[in-house]
């Protein structure tokens, strides 16, 4: 089935009430009916459905199945936020003494998670320029547990060479994790390009209206083939003491391994669970995601072209522009557009902040992926915690302005920017 159909139907079978809209199962727990069934559920013999909402909920299950279908993956796990989705995906592979190899061009919150919080847990983040594959290769060793990058980097708007990164990871048996938040599965499907795991902040384009915080992790089909017997991932291949010696890579149910362990160990123990109500909001949003991403992309491209011709603009970062160094990668790996995120550089920090203040339709908000257009000065907001060197590495000079192009009329947005640029 095509994306537009999956976005509306995947993962939902009407219940006995035949409700057209997925019901919200706002319940903490579910009745087992018998002591025997309860015991077998706790022993993981009944799957993960209808036990306790921390480890699974019927409304959230529809969101998980729908996103997994749209990503072309095997299964998903919804979480409380995009940050918890990223954190859990790392904790699922790495522990103290290990390292992860990740692109420097990342969302600012991911940079601080990787370089500060993970460091305190004993996990080292080794950063490489997303376009420098030699630098990446040199960072890999036997303790490397994943390679992490974004499918469109935020806010430098780079598109990585998926093939080069994934081939190198595969040569070492290392798991690749891709943050697909900005692209969404409508425009790019990293799992079908060979990546192993996709993570999302569902807080962005999924509803497209900035309604709720949420996240999701999706694993590719047959990931067990990479993990089973792989010494890098002994914790999947050795008996899990907290489940009476269960070996996760031997216990694969319906091809689900990565998110199964994440749910049954990390979610069980640390509980960054999504509210069923938020899952329901995300399900509603997904129905229109393919239509919205088309419009966001068309409008962003028109704005990028306009800005590129403006004398006060030094540089525009948008992979849909033929002049952009990411154009070829954008054509290779994206389908139907390049999303609504673009950035452009003006003279300096002061000029950038003046433009941000002068726009009227654009709101000054620390968010992206909304139907309402957003303008941000990353160096003083989303990336404020980064040092000067980290700002340069992340591709965030002081004069950089980021736009999240919404769904308003394109010409109105261009006129607003034109006026602000002066
Ligand atoms: N990944 C990307 C690319 C983001 O832009 C963000 C938030 O801006 C996140 C992850 C974090 O997501 P959340 O705010 O849902 O925790």
pLDDT at 166 over 90: yes
Q: Where are the alpha helices (DSSP H) in 214-326?
A: 224-227, 234-237, 258-261, 268-270, 276-286, 289-308
pLDDT band at 42 (very low <50, low <70, confident <90, very high): confident
Atom of ligand 1 nearest to the CA of 214: 15
For the cut 80, the answer to whether the pLDDT of residue 23 exceeds it is yes
Ligand 1 midpoint to CA 344 (Å): 20
Distance 210 CA to ligand 1 centre (A): 12
Pocket of ligand 1 (CB under 6 A): 81-83, 107, 109-110, 150, 154, 179, 181-182, 201, 203, 213, 215, 368
Pocket of ligand 1, candidates 204, 206, 272, 403: which has the most ligand atoms within 8 Å of its Cβ, to mutate?
204
CATH topology of domain 289-421: 3.90.1150
Residue 299: what pLDDT? 98
The answer to whether residues 257 and 177 touch, using CB atoms and an 8 Å cutoff, is no
Which residue is listed with tokens 């425009």? 187
Strands 400-404 and 341-345 turn out to be: antiparallel
Residue nearest to atom 1 of ligand 1 (CA): 201
CA distance to 3, 77, 82, 191, per residue, from 70 (Å): 6, 14, 18, 10
The CA 82 to ligand 1 mean position distance, Å, reads 5
pLDDT for 276-331, tens place per residue? 999 999 999 999 999 999 999 999 999 999 999 999 999 999 999 999 999 999 99
As a whole-number percent, the residues of the chain with pLDDT over 90 amount to: 86
pLDDT at site 390 = 80
Comparing C-alpha atoms, which of 158, 163, 198, 196 is closest to residue 178? 198
Residue nearest to atom 12 of ligand 1 (CA): 82
Kindly give the distance from the C-alpha atom of residue 395 to the centroid of ligand 1, in angstroms, as a whole number: 17
Distance CA 370, CA 387 (A): 28
Name the residue at shortest CA distance from atom 6 of ligand 1.
201
Q: What is the 3-state secondary structure (H, E, C) of 343-382?
A: EEECCCHHHHHHHHHHCCCCEECCCCCCCCCEEECHHHCC
Domain ranges of the chain: 3-277, 289-421
Give the model confidence (pLDDT) of 176-192 as tens digits. 999 999 999 999 999 99
Could you tell me the pLDDT band of residue 60, with boundaries at 50, 70 and 90?
Answer: very high
- Kind plus residue range of the DSSP H or E element containing 402: strand 400-404
Q: Is the predicted pLDDT of residue 47 greater than 80, yes or no?
A: no
Residue 199 is predicted with a pLDDT of: 98
Contact at 8 Å (CB) between 286 and 112? no
Query: Given the CA of residue 84, which atom of ligand 1 is nearest to it?
Result: 16
Q: What is the pLDDT of residue 96?
A: 98
Q: Does domain 3-277 have CATH number 3.20.20.100?
A: no
């Amino acid at each position: 089935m095509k994306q537009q159909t999956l976005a509306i139907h995947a993962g939902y079978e009407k219940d006995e009430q035949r409700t057209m809209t997925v019901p919200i199962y706002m319940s903490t727990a579910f009745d087992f009916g018998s002591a025997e069934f309860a015991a077998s559920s706790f022993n993981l013999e009944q799957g993960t459905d209808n036990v306790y909402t921390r480890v699974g909920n019927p409304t959230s299950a529809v969101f998980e199945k729908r996103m997994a279908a749209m990503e072309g993956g095997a299964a998903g796990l919804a979480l409380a936020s995009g940050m918890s989705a990223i954190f859990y995906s790392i904790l699922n592979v790495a522990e103290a003494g290990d390292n992860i190899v990740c692109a420097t061009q990342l969302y600012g919150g991911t940079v601080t998670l990787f370089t500060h919080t993970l460091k305190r847990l004993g996990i080292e983040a080794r950063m490489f320029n997303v376009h420098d594959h030699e630098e990446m290769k040199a960072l890999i060793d036997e303790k490397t547990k994943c390679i992490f990058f974004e499918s469109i980097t935020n806010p430098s708007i780079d598109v990585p060479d998926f093939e080069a990164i994934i081939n190198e990871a595969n040569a070492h048996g290392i798991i690749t994790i891709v943050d697909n938040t900005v692209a969404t599965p409508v425009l790019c499907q990293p799992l079908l390009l060979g990546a192993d795991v996709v993570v999302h902040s569902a807080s962005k384009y999924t509803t497209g209206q900035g309604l709720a915080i949420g996240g999701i992790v999706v694993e590719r089909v047959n990931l067990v083939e990479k993990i089973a017997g792989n010494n890098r991932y002994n914790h999947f291949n050795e008996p899990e003491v907290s489940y009476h010696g269960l070996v996760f890579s031997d216990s694969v149910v319906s091809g689900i391994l990565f998110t199964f362990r994440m749910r049954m160990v990390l979610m069980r123990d640390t509980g960054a669970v999504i509210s069923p109500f938020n899952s329901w909001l995300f399900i509603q949003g997904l129905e229109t995601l393919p239509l919205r991403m088309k419009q966001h992309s068309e409008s962003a491209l028109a704005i990028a072209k306009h800005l590129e011709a403006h004398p006060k603009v030094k540089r525009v970062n948008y992979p849909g522009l033929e002049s952009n160094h990411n154009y070829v990668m954008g054509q290779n790996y994206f389908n139907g557009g390049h999303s609504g995120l673009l950035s452009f550089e003006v003279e300096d920090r002061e000029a950038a902040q003046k433009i941000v203040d002068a726009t009227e339709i654009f709101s000054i908000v620390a968010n992206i992926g909304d139907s309402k257009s957003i303008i941000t000065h990353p160096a003083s907001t989303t990336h404020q915690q980064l040092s000067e060197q980290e700002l340069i590495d992340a591709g965030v000079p002081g004069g950089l302005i980021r736009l999240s192009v919404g769904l308003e009329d394109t010409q109105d947005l261009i006129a607003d920017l034109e006026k602000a640029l002066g």
